[in-house]
Structure 1
């Protein structure tokens, strides 16, 4: 099968738009480098190593070097292509990451949370590619690394046995990694394209609390860690863990722990005779 060369810039990362009119067929070919195809709109099929997959908007295909692939556009398709070399191999754990997570081509329907994060990474790379100042190469690589980690975590999520378990796991992971952001039940449900009531039901079935209750638990646990292990002011901790107001933080903390944040810090340090940091 033919080799198609793609020339990469100094950053070893290139993102570009690929348009496919209805009926177009891109025959089997391969590249020496890695690619992520992110389908913006339209629908069609992509063949990876002889196996065909249906593709449409918000879906992603990862293509490893020398992996044979072909594309057939059944309607007008617009695809963002992110091409990159193996520059991450120089980072601690980078080579192992490439070998374990990126050795084989994969088709993936991104969960809504991961899709939003990957879209943001692609936009940042597009911006830095246009900006092209002396920091752009470093910034581009950091955003690519973020996208790759999100994608690799998505592959792990797909091992869940059924759709509702996948959804519950997605929510839990999103909350644990984004607890400091402003999150509402409506926004979380919208991202999953289900009702807030259905979201609460499937999450409670798995974890025995609603997503918002779990969000509060995660924030309070992080606040307790900061109270014990740092000398930060309560107002700073409140801000860091994602509470919008100090009064809301105090009420939630006292309801859960039984004492105020400062009392908790004093009592815990006194009980183990630990000096403040």
Structure 2
């Protein structure tokens, strides 16, 4: 993880995953006007935090959950997010998915100059209760990715500042009012809570009936919500979590495959094999041979 940031403690009420936390870091830039980070996993990101600067981050690969100001928003490849100093946020896993993100941070004085160049009132970006998020498609996605990575290739100092002065207005343009901005809906509170509860084995093993029971909404509404916010069906969501659990049991190598199938909530071995093959690209036995500890 490349980092141009440092942290200091401050009091707050929420930690990673929305859980109570006594200390929330307030991140600052290390004596620079701008910073760069390239993080390859949720595990590399800071726990729930706030900061003294603005930042753009781009999801380069994967999926995850952005916990932001008491709400939850889905992140996927191409999600481009603008975060303000007042925002309190952090990242969570979504099922077995992980994410890779690229982050550019800069001081409030630079933000004010950019707003002047674009002719946009700063209040447009700062008054929303959520940070701004848009979903980039090609060729804009590759263009912004390359520009952000180029920042990381420059040593902190005059050269990096000069380049950022050229590209930051272009980044912020994608959040200005107009056709370039495609806002993303946050996850409803009930759905965010449901996702957390379905992380527990006693829930995802029981499958769709338990999901419907915990959701306390109609199955039709549940299906629409999963499609709208997570871009998958409830059954696909459950099976992904079950397969993650199955893979961990296979790697322990203490149970027969048929027993693992039943332990994960499947009653049909052929269906278990099909779902496993679809998720991992190989049969359970081959998965063990490829991934067993000490292999090679």
Q: If the TM-score is normalised by the length of the shorter chain, which range does it land in?
A: 0.3 to 0.5
Which structure has the larger Rg over C-alpha atoms? 1
Q: Normalising to structure 2: TM-score of the pair?
A: 0.45
Q: Normalising to structure 1: TM-score of the pair?
A: 0.47
